[in-house]
Homo-oligomer: A and B are copies of this chain.
């Protein structure tokens, strides 16, 4: 896990992902757009027809223990599999009450109570995921969570979300937007 890598999601008229729907789960939503682009390191000039952009960086593990990290590493794959033609971008902001907790309190809610890592493991390797941090950069969200999966796993992904949203951890989520995407460029035939 070397230096943080900047990631920007730009909603507008360009990018390989077609926006299927944008749903406000908690708090304010985000405006609808036609397409979404995911851009890496470097300054990103304004895209034609840009509606909104969200930026953050990859970062180090915040709650995951070594034994958990090893299990995750053995099971998960990164984004970019050609068969993964469905994606979700779910920006999340947690409350001041969450951020005021000490590290052991947040860890206990995250895993011992809510089983966040344990729940996610049930959906590996089908659901590829990427976590982008943005709290320290300011802006409206704390995390930009990104998931990719094959169309045949869409129901599994919904089940994972339903289980996570029922946890104690989610009582600290004060803004959440669920953005669903379909890959409609020609890079793969999936």
Chain A residues with a Cβ under 8 A of chain B: 1-4, 6, 56-57, 59-66, 68-69, 96, 99-105, 107, 133-138
Contact = CB atoms under 8 A, between A and B. Distances in A.
Given A4-B136, A136-B137, A104 B59 contact: no
Given A99-B60, A103-B107, A4 B135 contact: yes
Contacts of A59: 135-136
Contacts of A6: 138
A62 B103 contact: yes
Contacts of A107: 103
A65 B3 CA distance: 26
B138 A4 contact: yes
B136 A1 contact: no
Copies in the complex: 2
Contact of A65 (B100, B103, B135): B103
A40 to B, nearest CB: 13
Given A2-B99, A62-B62, A136-B137, 12 more contacts: A1-B100, A4-B138, A60-B100, A60-B101, A61-B101, A65-B102, A65-B104, A66-B101, A68-B102, A103-B107, A134-B136, A136-B136
B65 A99 contact: no
Contact of A136 (B69, B99, B105, B133): B133
A37 to B, nearest CB: 21
Contact of A69 (B96, B102, B133): B102
Contacts of A62: 62, 103
Contacts of A1: 96, 99-100
Contact of A137 (B65, B103, B104, B137): B137
9 contacts: A2-B99, A57-B137, A59-B136, A60-B100, A65-B103, A66-B101, A66-B104, A66-B105, A136-B136
